[in-house]
Amino acid sequence: MSDPNSPDRFNEEKATYAVRGEGAPDIELGVAAIRNVVATLPVRPGVYRMHDARGDVLYVGKARALKNRVTNYTQVARLSKRLQRMVAQTRSMTIVTTNNEAEALLLEAQLIKRFRPPYNVLLRDDKSFPFILLRRDHGFPRVQLHRGARRWKGDYFGPFAGAGQVRMTLNALQKLFLLRSCTDSFFATRDRPCLLYQIRRCSAPCVGRIDEAGYAELVNDARDFLMGKSTKVQSKLGEAMQAAAENLDFEQAAVLRDRLKALTFIQGSQAINAEGVGDADIFAMAHRNGVMGIQAFFIRGGQNWGHRSFFPAHTNDVPEDEVLSAFLMQFYEDVPPPRNVFVDRELDEAALLAEAMAERAGHKVALSVPQRGARRRLMEQAQRNAVEALDRRLAESTTQARLLAELAEFFDLPEPPDRIEVYDNSHIQGTNAVGAMVVAGPEGFRKGQYRKFNIKNPDTIPGDDFGMMREVFGRRFGRAQAEDPDRTQGDWPDLVLIDGGRGQLGAARAVLEDLGIEDVCLVGVAKGPHHGRDGREVFHMMDGRELTLPVNAPLLFYLQRLRDEVHRFAIGAHRAKRAKAIGASPLDDVPGIGPARKKALLMHFGTARAVKGASLEDLQRAPGVSAAVAQQLYDYFHAN
């Protein structure tokens, strides 16, 4: 067998590409760049990145032996079409060595998530999973929905498939265990119970209706319930109800009876019977017409915490087991793995995946294919759901492709748009103004790419919708022009829809013309003269035309759905900003006063107004406030 790095072998490969009519010069440059790196590589584990001429990451891979793995890319005749294209674009590489292959696998997942390379299988899900957080930094812990980094001290239960499942469980926890859900600042300022106490959803610890020991018992019961020990909680509630009835405390017995009924209802509403499974994630894959779908079930403590469908990107010419392996490592980049992970097929790197997940989780993780019993039945259910979800996806894709083709024809686009951006503003008489952008494409809404713009330019007059639109477009497209002038990263829109008429359209167009951008299609979407009667919209084009669609046209419904989505997102961003402004305190602006001191001052004085009016001596007596800080506070509020 000839040396794969010999000149004769390379000439054979060039001849092969010449016969195929492919870009031999590019292949030659790519192979040469890889060979330069191979000469210096060690035979040890690590991660490699391939870069194009601009320095952008094309691919991230891991290897047990870097030299052996990277050498394979120089044997281009043996590579798939996808990898041949990648090699043709490669001009440099970055190498990182690791202590073992499991570390390399973990680093690979981190880098894929960071760079999202075009030749890697990508988990196309930009939203973090929700958890339930049972706080431990307060005498009366709060239970709440949580996303993102774990910066709070407490117990985290999850992941849940979506916020809907979390809210259902939080609702159950309120009914069953009467735990508070209010913020610490709201809790500290109450002088009488809120409505949740009246409807038996809270035990009102804020006003002393329950002591700390009694509340701690409720917290322990809630923790047991979330850990799957619902039978223990049910038995405890039953005994307490019986004791209350025997003591003729019928009111308390009725309260306990209602809690028992709520628990029984929750147990009976589980759509999946996962008793005896414990903590496990279940993954099943379906593949049809070049599209792969993965169905995930989340089981914790034998309870069903929901399921979700995933459709990884860049899966063409990639074997199914390789797609599933890549998916699992990216999925568990942010989500802590349970002790059991069940998949529907044998994976070549199962042992390595389990080792890497165990290293991330801090406990042993078993990765296996269930063969019998409840676990096998759950896997079969996941497989059915995977097939059904893929069928729905393919049907939706067909419909979506038809709509986008109609959209291109209606707006005179050269081809169906791959990226549609929709813009709107939201404010109340100019206050708490925000701009919003939502993104849609062939696969539907891309929620991970939504953006909100806080209106902060002092030259923008409050309430001036045209001025707000100018600010939003200036920031959005000014940044795009600076960061991706060649439009190679896929972040430039093929179509821009603006909620508004000629005024908003003209404002946006003027900004793009100032930036030298003349080839982005802008369309203003305005309510027609008879909108309330027939639901029609008027579409204002840049050339002055006004287009309409028939009342029952599917394309009209699609465009209205895009407009409604940007409405929803803009109003939500505005409400969040307004709520934050309502909860703002004068203490937020005082230099050197952080969250801890602010909390201590409010707990001591009761309100920010009382802090503002306090004397220097009173400020010095507040816990955690030094003489210097007290003087700084006093000077800040009495400078004038």
Per-residue pLDDT, 434: 87
Per-residue pLDDT, 316: 82
Per-residue pLDDT, 497: 94
Per-residue pLDDT, 620: 78
Fold of 280-393: Nucleotidyltransferase; domain 5 (3.30.420)
Q: Is the pLDDT of residue 5 over 50?
A: no
Q: Which of the listed ranges 25-29, 444-448, 601-605 does the model predict with the highest average pLDDT?
A: 444-448
Per-residue pLDDT, 589: 64
**pLDDT tens digit sequence for 506-518:** 999 999 988 888 8
Give all strands (DSSP E) within 320-386, no chain letters. 340-343, 366-368
Residues of the chain with CATH 1.10.150.20: 586-637
Residues of the chain with CATH 3.40.1440.10: 7-115
DSSP-assigned states of every residue in 433-462:
EEEEEEEEETTEE-GGG-EEEE---TTSPT
Per-residue pLDDT, 21: 38
Q: Is 297 helix (H, G, I), strand (E, B) or coil?
A: strand
Indicate the pLDDT class of residue 522, thresholds 50, 70 and 90. very high
* % of the chain with per-residue pLDDT over 90: 31
Indicate the pLDDT class of residue 356, thresholds 50, 70 and 90. very high
DSSP-assigned states of every residue in 604-638:
HHSSHHHHHH--HHHHHHSTT--HHHHHHHHHHHT
- Residue 288 CA: distances (Å) to CA of 65, 444, 533: 34, 19, 44
Instruction: Tell me the whole-structure pTM to 2 decimals.
Output: 0.67
Tokens of 39: 């000469």
Determine if residue 423 is left, alpha or beta; phi over 0 gives left, psi from -120 to 50 gives alpha, anything else beta: beta
- Residue 520 CA: distances (Å) to CA of 135, 385, 419, 487, 511: 49, 40, 11, 12, 12
In 3D space, the residue among 431, 438, 481 whose CA is nearest the CA of residue 454 turns out to be 431
Please determine, looking at this structure, whether the domain spanning 7-115 carries the CATH number 3.40.1440.10. yes
Residues of the chain with CATH 3.30.420.340: 280-393, 420-581
Per-residue pLDDT, 8: 43
Per-residue pLDDT, 17: 37
Tokens of 40: 């210096």
Please determine, looking at this structure, whether the domain spanning 420-581 carries the CATH number 3.30.420.340. yes
Indicate the pLDDT class of residue 283, thresholds 50, 70 and 90. very high
631 touches 614 (CB < 8 A): no
- Rounded to an integer, what distance in angstroms lies between the CA atom of residue 313 and that of residue 86? 16
Q: Is the pLDDT of residue 263 over 80?
A: no
Torsions phi, psi for 92 (to 5 deg) = -160, 165
Indicate the pLDDT class of residue 328, thresholds 50, 70 and 90. very high
Torsions phi, psi for 179 (to 5 deg) = -85, 145
Indicate the pLDDT class of residue 15, thresholds 50, 70 and 90. very low
How many residues in total does the chain contain?
640
Tokens of 281: 């994630």
More confident position, 138 or 259: 138
**pLDDT tens digit sequence for 567-614:** 999 888 878 877 765 555 666 667 767 777 777 777 777 777 777 778
- Rounded to an integer, what distance in angstroms lies between the CA atom of residue 167 and that of residue 65? 47
Fold of 586-637: DNA polymerase; domain 1 (1.10.150)
More confident position, 147 or 568: 568
Determine if residue 226 is left, alpha or beta; phi over 0 gives left, psi from -120 to 50 gives alpha, anything else beta: alpha
